[in-house]
Structure 1
């Protein structure tokens, strides 16, 4: 019978981008709208500011994530190119380097030598990329995927406070935006923690705290500097 294991680290790449995007979408859009509410803006102005924040934020997230992951991909490509050159010009030295890596990890020298020889014969570049550089297909940088995920999840998160403005009457609008956004943040933080195998309560409170702090600060800015025409 084949033994299958599901490791939580397999989710780390997409989970990081998804949680970051959704959190930012909720927090930044809700905070922006809370500032506008505190300044005494009309519902249409609040809604317009939220939509503008969604579009600008989604593009910013996509661009930032793309550039960041592209830099990682460029570094990985440079390391792979260097390793390819070293394998072509110093095969014996690279074999010895691989042997020493396995010895350092706890294998006997005899076993390390045998493992290094077999892996080199099978796919030398893959062995060095994985065991020397720490680059694998699972965790390799994927800029476009990261950018699209961040933009999409930001937009999904930003829609939540926008829906509150559309569906809730003007009275107590600030309270409605804050409470719904905080609830969404708590649920998202708890879900992310559960998927990642962490403490659900701590994960939820951690996200909720920073969301509440951001909304409180922008609300204060709106009260202090808002001007009603």
Structure 2
């Protein structure tokens, strides 16, 4: 059946405008994937170029429907324009995360002029981009996680600290001193905590990783007792698969059999370590980014502001920073950056409000 059979009647002006928008967006998406491919090599480059080719097929569909109306150039949507600029300048996981969300918003499922194959393509494209973005998130999730959450913790904790202390009625100098003390104490605590956490995770992975001691001991084992079967069963294999693997290791089978958990490729563990990061890198990232976050609430006091003016400026600065960190977390998680940004803002201001109320009560009680 001709996929254009339902579209033979002359299109209306609204149809032409809509189809031209689709055409412009498809051109932009193809260009985005080609721009991203230029910054990659190997398998990722091939995948991105294949996506660009698929978008080219969609572009042809709208161009065929538009006929002579498809010759005029139309700007793509603002979202895709921004995506292309980012793809050209950065080509990072953030662009892939935004592209993933753009693919998830495809209107083709409810668009009569689009084919079922096009709607299915967009669903698959979202999953492909999700997979590519996941690789990028894995590369960032160690040290970058420590950096983002370190900055966020610095923002929230020091804002809450100076709001609580300021509410007691102490001088601006004392608030500034308390802010610096909170910055240093929190940064040291975060750095030490991240170092211990990451080191512990790496040590647990190292202790969990199966060794190849079975290869050394297998030739001398008693076939009838054969404790080697217990090794493979302890690693999660079924009794039958464990016996098969043990017999192979002892030289009684000349074949390849069910894969064993003891023979995972070293790359698996290398990826695990990559996702966790290193202890020192995580510690330094946490220290520096907590410090940078904790510095923002006390900037008004550093520049001599006092009283209500200092509090208002601090709230504005921290609010903007919380929106940024929340948006970044949303991008990395593939969720809505706006919702995550607002959630981060609500949590930060909620903590500051709680300490302000407590400080006010304490200050009133000791006045």
Structure 1 length-normalised TM: 0.76
Question: Which of 121, 145, 169 is residue 281 of structure 2 equivalent to?
Answer: 145
1:134–1:89: structure 2 CA closer, same or farther, 3 Å change rule?
farther
1:137–1:126: structure 2 CA closer, same or farther, 3 Å change rule?
farther
Q: Give the Cα–Cα distance (whole angstroms) in 2 for the partners of residues 116 and 151 of structure 1.
A: 43
The residue number in structure 1 matching 2:110 is none
The reply on whether 1:65 has 2:194 as its aligned counterpart is yes
Structure 1 residues 129-168: Cα deviation after superposition (integer angstroms, max 9, x where no partner): 72xx796342255211111111111011011112122236
Mapping of 1:8-157 within 5 angstroms? Answer: 8-10=136-138, 11-80=140-209, 82-89=210-217, 113=256, 116=259, 127=265, 130=268, 136-157=272-293
What is the number of equivalent residue pairs in this alignment?
A: 210
1:2–1:67: structure 2 CA closer, same or farther, 3 Å change rule?
closer
Q: For the Cα contact (< 8 Å) 1:32–1:50, is it kept in 2?
A: yes
SS of residue matched to 1:198: coil
1:220–1:78: structure 2 CA closer, same or farther, 3 Å change rule?
same
The reply on whether 1:206 has 2:343 as its aligned counterpart is yes
Question: Which of 289, 302, 305 is residue 166 of structure 1 equivalent to?
Answer: 302
CA apart distance, 1:182: 1.7
SS of residue matched to 2:142: helix
Structure of larger gyration radius: 2
CA apart distance, 1:127: 1.3
Q: What is the CA RMSD across the aligned residues, in angstroms?
A: 3.4
SS of residue matched to 2:191: helix
SS of residue matched to 2:318: helix
SS of residue matched to 2:335: coil
Q: Give the Cα–Cα distance (whole angstroms) in 2 for the partners of residues 9 and 95 of structure 1.
A: 33
1:222–1:90: structure 2 CA closer, same or farther, 3 Å change rule?
farther
CA apart distance, 1:53: 0.3
1:128–1:38: structure 2 CA closer, same or farther, 3 Å change rule?
same
The structure showing larger relative contact order (alpha-carbon pairs under 8 Å, at least 6 residues apart) is 1
Q: Give the Cα–Cα distance (whole angstroms) in 2 for the partners of residues 28 and 223 of structure 1.
A: 18
Q: For the Cα contact (< 8 Å) 2:172–2:307, is it kept in 1?
A: no
Structure 2 length-normalised TM: 0.50
Q: Give the Cα–Cα distance (whole angstroms) in 1 for the partners of residues 136 and 273 of structure 2.
A: 16
The residue number in structure 2 matching 1:108 is none
